[in-house]
Amino acid sequence: MTWASKSVSHTINRTGLFLKKQLWIWPILAVVILSVVFFFVRNAIESTIKGNVGSGLQTMVELESEMLQKWFAVQESTAVSLANDSQVRQVAAVLLETGQDQDVQDVGGASDQHRQLAKELGAALSAHHYVGYLLVDKNKRIRSSSHASLIGQSGIVEYDRFLDRALEGDSFVSTPFPSVVMMKSSDGQTRIGVPTMYVCAPVRDASFQVIGVLALQIPPEREFTRILQLGRVGASGEAYAFDSNGVMISNSRFDEDLVLLGLLPDRADSRSMLQLMVRDPGDDMTTGFRPGVRRSQLPLTKMAAAAIDGQPGLDVDGYRDYRGVPVIGAWTWLPKYQIGVVMEVDTAQAFRPLVILQRAFLTIYTLLTLCAIAIFAFTIIVARLQHQAREAVIEAQQLGQYTLEKKLGEGGMGIVYRGHHSMLRRPTAIKLLHGDSINETSIGRFEREVQITCQLNHPNTIAIYDYGRTPEGVFYYAMEYLDGIDLQQLVNQYGPQPESRVIHILTQICGSLFEAHSNGLVHRDIKPANVMLNRRGCEPDIVKVLDFGLVKAIDQNDQEKPTGRGMLTGTPLYMSPESIQAPMTVDASTDIYAVGAIGYFLLTGHPVFDAAGIAELCQKHIEEVPVPPSERAKIDISAQLEDAIMSCLEKARSKRPQTARDLALQISRCKAAGTWTVQDGDRWWGRHERGAKGPSISESPSGSLSGFGIMATMDQTIDITTNDESSSGDMTTP
């Protein structure tokens, strides 16, 4: 064993000497090491990108299909309502009975019944933006219509599918199809073949038997296509719909490019709706490729074939779209309407980080291969830079007058340390901007958070002490150090809180928010994790509102906005309906909704709504009426407090308390208001203070920093672009 040990030691020494002399070996070793690193890094990044993008695509498709089905349901409900209107049924019955005895020419003539039906339907057509109607008998003969040329006609193939469904007793919305009469197109020209669609409902007699069909004409470009256009993401992401024949029934975002590719006729009114077949040309037509057969002879794209077979799916490995461009996508099929809905993004955009990584490694390989001496010099330079970086880290322990003591947490944009002022010796939380995150956007957001918070001096708002930048370029600011517990931890660890304490907490939150709202600021991310409960100056249960990083100025007309236009920002469990439907219209009532949700959480130990996913959760915030806290948790609370909380959770902003102070006054009228005393607080903190001192200022239980990272669970902040102009192409969804 002694001989073996000496032999191994001798071999290592000889190898070291050889490597020192033969410097050309180092580039080869570097290539080998980089190849191994690249292999694992590339696989990890590719797997992460596919997972994130796939999840985002699936969510977008679910949202698009849900929105379409909601829209279809609304249209069908409207048609059924009109078809069952007593006046409409009375006039329709006369027309349908008359039509059985009269000649076609007589039925097609102008009559009082036709005019009466048009009058009865006129208000509804105008209110719901319908552009025409049909009244059809059981033989599918048109007995009345807003288009005079259709009256008396039958056997129109384009109408058969939706008329058959209605005659069987179902209300139904047809897919878009070319009109068979002269109509005005979106460009104002009158012609045949303009895309149109109908919603129809059966007309019944007094014995509830189907005697005809009322069909209302819908312009698809008004709402149908707009719903699908919401799925535009980045430079290439698009959502569109197609029918069972593989024909696109909505407009592509690439219509102009499709004209240049020859897939659409070169006319000013060329649109992909009803003119483009979702078929695979065999290669990328944007690079000059042209198929050798007619488009009708090409196979359906992989996505379209699977969807038409009724197989919803997701493909993040890539396939060719109708242009032959490699894309990834998610799709679903709506069997009732025989419509496929797909969300696709060009592979080049989705995997751009991977391409950049490949190019970076290829550049390094080339440099290593061509110039060993240069690589060696580069290695020396890197070593010096690393040494300087280590020295900079040591120097960073002293930021001006502040000494860093302990790291409290770290997020995507920065780090928070506990420290103290060298002269004042006051405990301080110091927030540093990551060196890797320094750019104009991150610095602007960092400075904006400081400037906004500094405008607020309410005792229940966290205080900023200082802001600065070190000579090494590290941005930081110092704020008061809090060693209490946030409301999320409070409920998680100690369960629902008594009514008197909830009133005490909510009143302080309202005070902080009233000052912010009075300064024209909306917090936009009020949630339990952003409200700290502390023991300050021997006073128990002092509330501090944190994290103004997502705050929005109400009069942000000339200011640079911190988030892009149309961006959905906040925490799903506490987001108001308007912040989901129209993020740019949020105001003070959005924060008041969140305060009500916090009160609900404190009383019951549960959020207002439970859901399996963010799409379902958002839908509940928009539509569902919450269960009162007393029923949800089976607890006895005062009617005044319950009414106050439920009024905050109203869907309509006008029904909520108009200001945070109004809410505070409403809460103060509760019988339990003021019954949570200093003695009560002292007793609670005396029993729980050690367990309550968990993560401190701005540090979440997961170890990340509130406001630093955009996280993807329902109780954390989300930031989803809904407008393609502001999208970065990253479709990671919560």
What would the pLDDT profile of 554-571 be if each residue is shown by its tens digit? Answer: 554 434 444 444 444 457
Same domain, 425 and 457: yes
Residue 384 has a pLDDT of 65
Same domain, 314 and 429: no
Residue 395 has a pLDDT of 56
Answer yes or no: is pLDDT of 212 > 90.
yes
391 vs 213, more confident: 213
Same domain, 446 and 341: no
Question: Does residue 727 sit within a domain?
Answer: no
How long is the chain?
A: 734
What gap in Å lies between CA 698 and CA 527, rounded to an integer?
12
- Which residues contact residue 56 at a Cβ distance below 8 angstroms, ignoring those fewer than 6 apart? 233, 731, 732, 733
Domain count, the chain: 4
Whether residue 705 contacts residue 409, with contact meaning beta carbons closer than 8 Å, is answered with yes
Question: Does residue 734 sit within a domain?
Answer: no
Same domain, 715 and 602: yes
Catalytic residue among 137, 525, 719, 724: 525
Question: Does residue 549 sit within a domain?
Answer: yes
Of 429, 452, 479, the position where a domain reaches its end is 479
Confidence of residue 307 (pLDDT cuts 50, 70, 90): very high
Answer yes or no: is pLDDT of 464 > 90.
no
What gap in Å lies between CA 638 and CA 599, rounded to an integer?
13
Answer yes or no: is pLDDT of 10 > 90.
no
Residue 365 has a pLDDT of 72
- Which residues contact residue 521 at a Cβ distance below 8 angstroms, ignoring those fewer than 6 apart? 452, 455, 456, 548, 551, 552, 553, 554
What would the pLDDT profile of 222-247 be if each residue is shown by its tens digit? Answer: 889 889 888 788 888 899 999 999 99
Question: Does residue 14 sit within a domain?
Answer: no
Structural domain harbouring 547: 483-721
Of 395, 425, 447, the position where a domain reaches its end is 395
Phi and psi (nearest 5°) for 218?
A: -115, 135
DSSP of 369-421: HH-HHHHHHHHHHHHHHHHHHHHHHHHTTEETTEEEEEEEEE-SSEEEEEEEE
Same domain, 570 and 647: yes
In this structure, the number of other CB atoms found within 10 A of the CB of residue 510 comes to 27
| Mean pLDDT to the nearest integer, 666-677 | 93
Residue 701 has a pLDDT of 36
What would the pLDDT profile of 51-96 be if each residue is shown by its tens digit? Answer: 888 898 999 999 999 999 999 999 999 999 999 998 999 899 888 8
> How many degrees, rounded to 5, is the angle at CA 42 between CA 53 and CA 718?
30
Return the C-alpha torsion angle 267, 273, 279, 281, nearest 10. Answer: 20
458 vs 110, more confident: 458
Confidence of residue 551 (pLDDT cuts 50, 70, 90): low
DSSP collapsed to 3 states, 629-664:
HHHHHCCCCCHHHHHHHHHHCCCCHHHCCCCHHHHH
Same domain, 494 and 474: no
Of 218, 242, 275, the position where a domain reaches its end is 218
Confidence of residue 450 (pLDDT cuts 50, 70, 90): confident
Question: Does residue 12 sit within a domain?
Answer: no
Range with the poorest average pLDDT among 127-141, 191-205, 485-499, 684-698: 684-698
Residue 472 has a pLDDT of 60
CATH number, domain at 574? 1.10.510.10
Question: Does residue 224 sit within a domain?
Answer: no
Confidence of residue 725 (pLDDT cuts 50, 70, 90): very low
| Mean pLDDT to the nearest integer, 381-386 | 60
**Euclidean distance between the first and final Cα of the chain, in Å?**
59
| Mean pLDDT to the nearest integer, 608-613 | 90
**525 catalytically annotated:** yes
CATH number, domain at 468? 3.30.200.20
> What is the average pLDDT value for the chain, to the nearest integer?
81
135 vs 397, more confident: 135
463 vs 30, more confident: 463
Q: List the one residue out of 338, 344, 308 whose CA is nearest residue 323.
A: 344
What would the pLDDT profile of 322-350 be if each residue is shown by its tens digit? Answer: 999 999 999 999 999 999 999 999 988 88
Burial class (CB in 10 A: 0-12, 13-18, 19+), 623: exposed
Confidence of residue 680 (pLDDT cuts 50, 70, 90): very high
Tell me the C-alpha to C-alpha distance, in Å, between residue 10 and each of 1, 5, 26. 14, 9, 21
Residue 520 has a pLDDT of 86
Residue 3 has a pLDDT of 47
Residue 189 has a pLDDT of 79
Same domain, 685 and 638: yes
Same domain, 524 and 665: yes
Same domain, 123 and 201: yes
Burial class (CB in 10 A: 0-12, 13-18, 19+), 105: exposed
Question: Does residue 15 sit within a domain?
Answer: no
* Site of tokens 């019951």: 604
CATH number, domain at 154? 3.30.450.20
Question: Does residue 553 sit within a domain?
Answer: yes
What gap in Å lies between CA 273 and CA 253, rounded to an integer?
11
Same domain, 546 and 695: yes
Same domain, 420 and 450: yes
Same domain, 198 and 244: no
Tokens of 57: 């695509």
